């Protein structure tokens, strides 16, 4: 098949099954390329190129560098286009356009930049119209520009969001580790950001990326409540600043909280989820707040709150008697467990079974 492209251009987008050649009136035609080819006019191509150039200039002014292929450095390919010769004509192979993946400045701007609004300013002048110079900065004095009603005039400014920039660069590197350098259609929906693309791969556990992140902190699904998927497990312990990376502190807290839940014979989060307990930590908080509601099989009629381990107690055993030490331990524990009596706390620590084995020796009998 020969493509008679003279006053029109073409590019690829979307994921649409190949159909028959169809009518030229609908501005589309199909080829063996898995995707959709759309004919556009020269005017539309100029508009696209102009949009790209504006996005490029804006991002470059804010520190984004140009890569060797003309795209924004550090970002993945985002679009499928077609190779052209020096005259601007499509390069054909076996009668079909030869596709190429490109990094769109406009797409990257969409990923990392947002609209902000700033006051318009004007130079302050004296009665003769001469600009007044700030003696500290050596630059002309500026003042906010106002409209006829005295209201400040605001102007729209597109600025790179530092967090979006860092998160996008991080996501790009993470995708590279699993061999993904393009987020172009048809694999990803047009307009997908690199952060969204990485999230999709985390959900699919591509090349074991999610399981590997958990393994680095010594975790696997056996450490989580029953019924937790590998992706849900990652989100429970994910670092709030690094996508797909496990937070060591959260990992330790999870192991602690899961152990507490299992001690209460609670092995899933099913009963907690309707009340916001979608991870072990929030589930434990609910359990502390309303034990009578979330304990599976209460052992007594009058419910007590869950036992909390008291803060570390530092004592000098050489300067106190056995009874003084026991009293100090009980008093320390009562501060965080006021609902428990001294007898219950004593039994909790096993003081009812303690025997003396000489000065400074304490042990359990049996």
| Separation of alpha carbons 325 and 88, rounded Å | 89
Per-residue pLDDT at 307: 79
Average pLDDT, the chain: 80
Per-residue pLDDT at 38: 59
| Separation of alpha carbons 190 and 156, rounded Å | 26
Low-confidence ranges of the chain (pLDDT < 50): 1-8, 13-35, 299-301, 354-366
3-state helix, strand, coil in the chain (%, to 5): 40, 20, 45
pLDDT tens per residue across span 199-228: 999 999 999 999 999 999 999 999 999 999
Place of tokens 């609902």: 339
Per-residue pLDDT at 11: 55
Question: Which residues pair with residue 92 across a beta bridge?
Answer: 97
Three-state SS at 189 = coil
Per-residue pLDDT at 120: 80
Question: Would you call 94 exposed, middle or buried from its count of C-beta atoms within 10 A (0-12, 13-18, 19+)?
Answer: exposed
Residues in contact with 94: Cβ distance below 8 Å, sequence separation at least 6, in sequence order = none
Q: Strands (DSSP E) along 141-252, which ranges?
A: 142-144, 154-160
Of the candidates 351, 355, 354, 348, the residue with the CA atom closest to the CA atom of residue 333: 348
Question: Would you call 177 exposed, middle or buried from its count of C-beta atoms within 10 A (0-12, 13-18, 19+)?
Answer: exposed
Place of tokens 């009874």: 323
Q: Encoding tokens for residue 152?
A: 């400040």
| Separation of alpha carbons 43 and 87, rounded Å | 17
Q: Is the peptide bond before 82 cis (omega within 30 degrees of 0)?
A: no
Of the candidates 267, 271, 217, the residue with the CA atom closest to the CA atom of residue 247: 217
């Amino acid at each position: 098949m020969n493509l008679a492209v003279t006053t029109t251009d073409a590019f690829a987008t979307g994921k649409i099954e190949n159909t028959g050649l169809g009518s030229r009136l609908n501005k589309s035609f199909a080829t063996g390329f898995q995707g959709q080819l759309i004919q556009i006019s020269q005017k539309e191509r100029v508009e696209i190129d102009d949009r790209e150039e504006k996005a490029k200039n804006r991002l470059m002014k804010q520190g984004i560098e140009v890569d060797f292929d003309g795209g924004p450095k550090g970002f993945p390919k985002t679009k499928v286009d077609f190779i052209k010769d020096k005259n601007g004509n499509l390069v054909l192979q076996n009668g079909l356009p030869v596709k190429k993946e490109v990094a769109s400045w406009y797409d990257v701007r969409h990923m990392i930049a947002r609209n902000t609004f700033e006051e318009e300013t004007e130079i302050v002048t004296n009665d003769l119209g001469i600009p007044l110079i700030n003696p500290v900065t050596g630059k002309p004095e500026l003042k906010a520009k106002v409209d006829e009603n005295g209201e400040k005039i605001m102007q729209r400014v597109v600025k790179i969001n530092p967090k979006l920039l860092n998160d996008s660069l991080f996501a790009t590197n993470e995708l590279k580790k699993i061999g993904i350098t393009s987020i172009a259609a048809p694999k990803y929906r047009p307009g997908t950001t690199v952060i969204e693309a990485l999230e999709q791969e985390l959900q699919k556990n591509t090349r074991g990326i999610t399981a590997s992140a958990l393994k680095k902190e010594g975790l696997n699904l056996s450490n989580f409540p029953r019924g937790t998927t590998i992706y849900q497990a990652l989100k429970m312990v994910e670092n709030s600043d690094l996508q797909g990376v496990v937070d060591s502190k959260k990992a330790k807290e999870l192991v602690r909280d899961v152990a507490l839940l299992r001690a209460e014979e609670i092995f899933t989060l099913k009963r907690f989820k309707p009340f916001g307990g979608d991870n072990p930590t929030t589930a434990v908080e609910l359990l502390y707040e309303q034990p009578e509601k979330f304990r599976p099989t209460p052992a007594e009629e009058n419910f007590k709150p869950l036992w909390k381990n008291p803060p570390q107690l530092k004592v000098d055993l050489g300067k106190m008697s056995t009874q003084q030490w026991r009293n100090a331990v009980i008093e320390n524990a009562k501060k965080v467990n006021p609902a428990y009596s001294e007898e219950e706390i004593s039994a909790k620590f096993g003081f009812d079974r303690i025997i003396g084995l000489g000065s400074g020796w304490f042990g359990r009998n049996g």
